[in-house]
Amino acid sequence: MKRLTTTLSAMALALCVCAQSHQFDINTNKVGAPVQPTMYGIFFEDINYAADGGLYGELVKNRSFEFPDPYMGWNVFGNIQLKNDGPFDKNPHYVRLGYSGHNDKFSGLENEGYFGIGYENGAEYRFSVWARVPEGGEANVRVMLCDPATMGERQQFSEQTVKVNSKEWKKYQVVLKAGKTVNKGTLRLMLARNSAVVDLEHISLFPVDTWKGRENGMRKDLAQALADLHPGVFRFPGGCIVEGTDLDTRYQWKNSVGPVENRPLNENRWHYTFDYRFFPDYFQSYGLGFFEYFQLCEDFGSEALPVVSVGLSCEFQNGDKMSNAHVPLDQLQPYIDDVIDLIEFANGDPAKNKWAKLRADMGHPEPFGLKFVAIGNEQWGEIYPEHLQPFLDQVRKVHPEIKIIGTSGPDSEGKQFDYLWPEMKRMKADLVDEHFYRPESWFLAQGNRYDNYDRKGPKVFAGEYACHGRGKKWNHFEAALLEAAFMTGMERNADIVHMATYAPLFAHIEGWQWRPDMIWYDNLRSMRSCSYYVQQMFSLNKGSNVIPLTMNNKPVAGNADQDGLFASAVVEKATGEVIVKVVNTGDKAQEVTLNLKGLKAKVTYDASLTAYSADNMDGENTLDQPTKYVPKTSSLKIEGNTYTTSVPAKTFYMFKIKK
């Protein structure tokens, strides 16, 4: 009797294990909606010192002396005067260095960079300056790379001299090789003894080895991190900076193009936004401007998605009632013209349009092939559709080929969201931008967010999102895992979700205003967060089409009820590769069976498994341990058309099967 009971219990246990095995039915023959090439992309905003002090390779802060405090970022000594009738009308300031009155008192200036200047031993740096000798003669300007913290040796570890001998403004350049690695260096300029008086303007220093070797180039490791994401779409330049704290400080793309020396400075909206992260030296040089953004899009193979002002400055700071922070409807024309001119700048014929000609003059006669424009960032209230309408009317009339993206406001749901989505449908926006910075519970509950969206209305652009962990957790692994879970829902609904971009993208470790962020850096090192790796797994493995997938004969519930499992499947038509993503968000391992309809029972298929997991849910990659948590890929053989395995707790598994 006892033996029978034991046998029955064993059978019951076996049945129980069997019942816990989750069946994923994946019909590889049924090619569904295309996954748009734009599906996974990047969103760049100059927040957290993402542009100046980040991606933009310039190492000198306040290079044109245009900050409200003209010497911010500089230490000046000896006989130095600030002048304001320089060669660049939008940046008129420059400095004049002269004899200090004593042979052993030098005149000069020293720049502190952004949280210091990072120098790499053996690397070359291109120094350039616009200069003249106003009274004639010859001036020798000593250019030094320095380590002010050095003890017991000379502070300068590399030096060159620039000889200035023309009364006319001219650009001078020298290349210096760093003899030392320094995280917080400076750039020091000194007028040599017996020199003529010299004027200096637009004092600049870039690594020679920028992304693609461009002189006005990008920091290579950061641009490479973006390239490695294969972003399908590139949204820029913001975010709130598009709107500005007020209308004067909104991002004006026309100021960001043409010669870098004459791009006027703009305040950065993030320099005094938070009292606990205060950065009074945060401005936008526009050295990374719209030409450079379009160029990066081309480099990365991304569709460009510029965001433009709809004539409403930041509604968080100014409310949604008409005020002097918002443009009256009858004064919107210059804003609308800016959009039309932008399309010409990107796509127009240089022989017919002055903005297109400027693009050609900047070195890109071919059109950039712009297809999308977002009008407004996080706007809300009736004031938004009222402002958007005249843009739609005019832009569509002249450029019906351009797809226009409207917004659903700053919230993932609620009053404004519920008001704006129907409004965007009524106005026939092509896509609607949704933003959600939400906690873990939200991401766990929203895996089927898009299952019931209206298929006849605008498409979805998840333009800003990130899981914001509760309890002082930032770029921890669990947040990335929950983003992956949520993203399976976007992928299953790729017929309606056409674009998704995590936010924010970049943060300087000493200069952040907002976290979590996807990529972190100091002056020499960078780190790709766990969220980065999740984005990359999706982006590089998005396939060409969705294929149907059910779980235990039901649609994937998209919430933690299904034992914490989330999943999606796609096929790459060109190669026949089937890609199945399964995210186990739960605390227990789950047995799953992939039933791959369309594969043959007696064939062995080459496959791979990429697993992303961590020993600690609060674990993060750091600058010191940048690859502590990275996905790992192993090869696999799949015998026939079913495959059973156990997905460990809190793990993202991705199977790629060569059909």
Q: Which residues bind ligand AHR (CB under 6 A)?
A: 45, 47, 238-240, 377-378, 410, 435, 464, 503-504, 514
- The residue (of 64 and 379) whose beta carbon lies closer to ligand AHR is 379
* 378 tagged catalytic: yes
- The residue (of 201 and 433) whose beta carbon lies closer to ligand AHR is 433
Smallest gap from residue 552 Cβ to ligand AHR (A): 38
Smallest gap from residue 334 Cβ to ligand AHR (A): 23
56/58 Cα distance (integer angstroms): 6
Smallest gap from residue 429 Cβ to ligand AHR (A): 17
Q: Hey, what are 545's tokens? A: 């089409």
Strand-pair partners of 96: 81, 199
DSSP-based helix, strand, coil % in the chain, nearest 5: 20, 30, 45
Nearest Cα residue to 428 out of 456, 468, 449, 453: 456
As a residue count, the chain comes to 659
The residue whose Cβ lies closest to ligand AHR is 239
The number of CA neighbours under 13 Å toward the Cβ of 83 is: 18
CB contact at 8 A, 257 and 95 = no
- The residue (of 378 and 491) whose beta carbon lies closer to ligand AHR is 378
Q: Which of 58, 303, 344, 378 is catalytic?
A: 378
CB contact at 8 A, 341 and 355 = yes
Smallest gap from residue 616 Cβ to ligand AHR (A): 27
Smallest gap from residue 467 Cβ to ligand AHR (A): 14
Smallest gap from residue 500 Cβ to ligand AHR (A): 14
559/80 Cα distance (integer angstroms): 65
Report helix, strand or coil for 235. Answer: strand
486/446 Cα distance (integer angstroms): 6
How distant, in Å, are the alpha carbons of 118, 219, 524, 537 from that of 207? 10, 8, 11, 31
CB contact at 8 A, 131 and 195 = no
CA dihedral 27, 31, 37, 38 (to 10 degrees): -70
Q: Any residues with CB less than 8 A from the CB of 39 and at least 6 apart, and which?
A: 232, 490, 491, 494, 497, 498, 499, 500, 538, 539, 542
Report helix, strand or coil for 519. Answer: strand
CB contact at 8 A, 500 and 39 = yes
Smallest gap from residue 523 Cβ to ligand AHR (A): 23
388/410 Cα distance (integer angstroms): 17
Smallest gap from residue 443 Cβ to ligand AHR (A): 17
Active site residues: 378
